[in-house]
Amino acid sequence: MAITPTTIASAIFSHGLSELKGPQFVQLALGIGNSVMTWIQIPVNFSLSGITNGQAGAGVVNGFFSVPPTTPNTLLALQQTGNNGPKVPTIARAVSLGISTGFSTAQYVGPSVGVSIGNDLSQVSNANVATLIPLLVQSLSSSFGGPGGGSLSSFATGLASGIVGQLSLGRGTGIVTGIPAPIPPVVATGTSPLSKVF
């Protein structure tokens, strides 16, 4: 099942619900969910590459993408951009666990070069934090009903750094399907040079 902005927002919300109350937290979770999904759909922002093994030929990789939680790193990213309020550790934990949980149903797809039927192991090859920051600023400004200011910008910068750092640790495991090379089958190693998460 593909992920959606709501998948991510709901996961963030559920991990912070016990300590973060009110409509502002709902808006924060929605803003992050919308931003991350908009950002991740564009391969110049975020993509995977990997190694394929199996029968020689060409095909398509389909797989699942998982992300570990990294609460300490997310907290550090927020603190390094001047976000030191009393709720920042709770927000960092909710975001990190929410990203990990939200991406538990994530999938990826891309071409396989050199292998037509087999397996794929992929990792993040591109994760552009600079392109996520303005999306977070825009989405959070819209969510909170205002243009935002310096504090919103530094908060978005810290969030983007933490989220991108976490997503960069993600791994993909997939299968390759396609048209095999002529018989007899030849065992080959190939690549999956550019896969998109969805």
Q: What is the pLDDT of residues 3-21, one digit of tens each?
A: 999 999 999 999 999 999 8
pLDDT of residue 146: 56
pLDDT of residue 148: 56
> What distance in Å separates the CA atoms of residue 170 and residue 68, rounded to the nearest whole number?
7
pLDDT of residue 41: 95
> What distance in Å separates the CA atoms of residue 180 and residue 80, rounded to the nearest whole number?
51
Token pair 């396609």 is found at 178
User: Would the pTM count as exceeding 0.75?
Assistant: yes
Which regions of the chain are under pLDDT 70?
144-150
pLDDT 10s digits, 88-123:
999 999 999 999 999 999 999 999 999 999 999 999
How many other C-beta atoms can be found within 10 angstroms of the C-beta atom of residue 84?
A: 10
CA distances from 65 to 18, 49, 78, 158, 172 (A): 28, 12, 25, 24, 4
pLDDT of residue 147: 53
pLDDT of residue 197: 97
> What distance in Å separates the CA atoms of residue 18 and residue 90, rounded to the nearest whole number?
10
Q: Cβ neighbours of residue 85 under 8 Å, at least 6 residues apart?
A: none
Q: Angle between the 71-80 and 150-167 helix axes, to the nearest 10 degrees?
A: 150
